[in-house]
Amino acid sequence: MIALKIPLGAFAFVGRGQRGDTADAGIETLGDALDGTALAGGIATLEDHDDLQPLMLDPVLKADQFMLKPEKLTEIDAALDLLAIGIVGQFRQHRFEAALVDLHLQLLVKAVGGGGGKGMRLVDHPSQLSEAISAASREARNAFGDERVFIEKYLRSPRHIEFQILGDAHGEIIHVFERECSIQRRYQKIIEETPSPALAPQLRARMGEAAVAAARAADYVNAGTVEFVLNPDGHFYFLEMNTRLQVEHAITEMTTGLDLVREQILIAGGLHLSRTQSELQQTGHSIECRIYAEVPEENFRPDTGVVAVYRPPSGPGIRLDSGIQEGSEVGFHYDPMLAKLIVWASSRDAAIERMKRALSDFVVLGVRNNIEFLHRVISSEEYRTGKFDTQFLDRQPDLLNASTNDIPPAARIVASLDRLKTTSGSGQMFTDVWTSGAWRNS
Mark 316-354 as b/e (b = at least 16 C-beta within 10 Å).
ebbbbebebeeebebeeeeebbbbbbbbbbeebeebbeb
13 Cβ contact list (under 8 Å, min separation 6): 43, 44, 45, 46, 52, 53, 54, 55, 84
Based on its alpha-carbon atoms, the radius of gyration of the chain, rounded to whole angstroms, reads 23
Tally Cβ neighbours within 10 Å of residue 253: 23
140 Cβ contact list (under 8 Å, min separation 6): 111, 112, 113, 114, 118, 119, 146, 147, 148, 149
The answer to whether 440 touches 255, Cβ cutoff 8 Å, is: no
> How far is Cα 187 from Cα 158, in angstroms, rounded to an integer?
12
The answer to whether 163 touches 207, Cβ cutoff 8 Å, is: yes
Q: Does the active-site annotation cover 244?
A: yes
The answer to whether 222 touches 214, Cβ cutoff 8 Å, is: no
Q: Which letter does DSSP use for residue 155 in this model?
A: P
> How far is Cα 275 from Cα 171, in angstroms, rounded to an integer?
14
Tally Cβ neighbours within 10 Å of residue 234: 12
Mark 404-416 as b/e (b = at least 16 C-beta within 10 Å).
eeeeeeeebeeeb
Beta bridge partners of 429: none
Q: From the candidates 244, 262, 301, 395, give the one annotated as an active-site residue.
A: 244
Q: Which positions are catalytic? A: 244
